[in-house]
Chains A and B, each alone.
Chain A
Amino acid sequence: RKEVEQDPGPFNVPEGATVAFNCTYSNSASQSFFWYRQDCRKEPKLLMSVYSSGNEDGRFTAQLNRASQYISLLIRDSKLSDSATYLCVLIPYGGATNKLIFGTGTLLAVQP
């Protein structure tokens, strides 16, 4: 089983819609969690960190559920410019390095 699993999508939604992605992880000792965004044929960029208490950044809300081992990303009032692949990322506890483990990504297509 992969360490991080995501529904690859695509999620096709109209402008203005609310859309949510989940990501599950297998290592209960995972330390830190993030969402990255990757535009087509571009490099990934950090979208937001995910805190245990949940956190919001404008139209984006991230939540962590350690008991069920998943994180979520909610996007409200979708814009055309939100179309991208959203990558779930974690840093596991332990090890010599803080290597970031990426999921396969969820493709979002916002339609006019």
Chain B
Amino acid sequence: GAGVSQSPRYKVAKRGQDVALRCDPISGHVSLFWYQQALGQGPEFLTYFQNEAQLDKSGLPSDRFFAERPEGSVSTLKIQRTQQEDSAVYLCASYLGSGELFFGEGSRLTVL
């Protein structure tokens, strides 16, 4: 498709479950970002890929969070042993430079 596609759009998990969130970026875009957006807050940086290389993972809040992009296109954000504080919208974005991030619609995670 023409834009960034994320799935699932909505995910409800019980505390302690593992979840996997998928991002299909704009075809040919080398750079990919993941952000976490809690209710009433701005997006918080999680991690950045250039092709398959994860160049910055300084924003991942704990070792329960893991991201990969093995073939330099689709990316997966995995959260192990989910906690209530992980409830947020997880946004994936393609980036071509010049400050314009192209975001997907996000995956809204609710941990009960």
Task: Write the residues of chain A forming the contact surface with B, with a CB cutoff of 8 angstroms.
Answer: 4, 6, 8, 32, 34, 42-46, 49, 87, 89, 91, 95-105
Taking a contact as CB atoms closer than 8 A, the residue among B40, B48, B101 that contacts A44 in the complex is B101
Taking a contact as CB atoms closer than 8 A, the residue among B40, B43, B91, B105 that contacts A8 in the complex is B40
* B101: chain A residues within 8 A (beta carbon): 44, 46, 100
Say whether B45 contacts A101, CB under 8 Å.
Answer: yes
Additional pairs, 11, CB under 8 Å, beyond known A99-B56, A105-B42: A42-B105, A44-B43, A45-B103, A46-B100, A95-B56, A96-B55, A99-B45, A100-B99, A102-B35, A102-B44, A104-B40
Say whether A44 contacts B98, CB under 8 Å.
Answer: no
How many angstroms between the C-alpha atoms of A42 and B40 in the bound complex?
Answer: 13
Supply 10 A–B pairs (Cβ within 8 Å), ascending by A.
A42-B105, A43-B104, A44-B43, A46-B101, A89-B99, A97-B48, A99-B45, A100-B33, A102-B45, A105-B42
Say whether B99 contacts A102, CB under 8 Å.
Answer: no
User: How near does chain A come to B21, taking the closest CB pair, in angstroms?
Assistant: 14
Say whether B42 contacts A46, CB under 8 Å.
Answer: no
Given A34-B99, A49-B99: A43 touches B91 (CB 8 Å cut-off): yes
